[in-house]
Chain A
């Protein structure tokens, strides 16, 4: 079974600084997708960024980027120029490749606080 591990329960960053959130996963599959979701205090889950395993290039969405190390099964999220609105829980998630079984496996999440 696939597992997703987020070993840091909490992190803190100064506003305007950069922070990296770690995630590792375990799978025997070669085709899969990885996601980072954000859950602010409203508890609405929002997709931040996604990465296809077959792509070597790291995904980037504005201030958010990932460091995808397929051999190491590592998928970290880097937030640049941190803003107060970035304070939230962040979940790393895994999904097996395209097909009928599309369920997500989530890590336990990390709470990010942003200091003004």
Chain B
């Protein structure tokens, strides 16, 4: 079945450590996105990528980094510079340039900093 997978589902990190969240899709979508969800804040865009080897900062990129070496994969690294990393992280993908460009979401990763 086609879809988006995120791993792990739950992730615990000590303060000062970098951690990488995985996002893989087999939908042959060009565009991929990372969102952060906090209670009462909705979803906020961290980074997005329209094509391989290219990505842009979203609204809250500070303390995060990404790479897009393969079409299928868009990993997100939460660095020690991110002051408040505990949150729910959602990855999404879409067909680039499509008319309505629906975004399909993965199941999410819950990151907790201890």
Chain A residues at the B interface, C-beta cutoff of 8 Å = 6, 9, 33, 35, 42-47, 50, 52, 91, 95, 98-100, 102-109
Contacts and interface: CB of A to CB of B under 8 A. Distances in A.
B101 A95 contact: yes
Contact of A43 (B94, B97, B108): B108
A102 B105 contact: no
Interface of B: 31, 33, 35, 40-45, 48, 50, 58, 88, 90, 92, 94, 96-103, 105, 107-108
B97 A47 contact: no
A108 B40 contact: yes
Nearest to B104: A47
Nearest to B95: A102
B108 to A, nearest CB: 5
Contacts of B92: 45
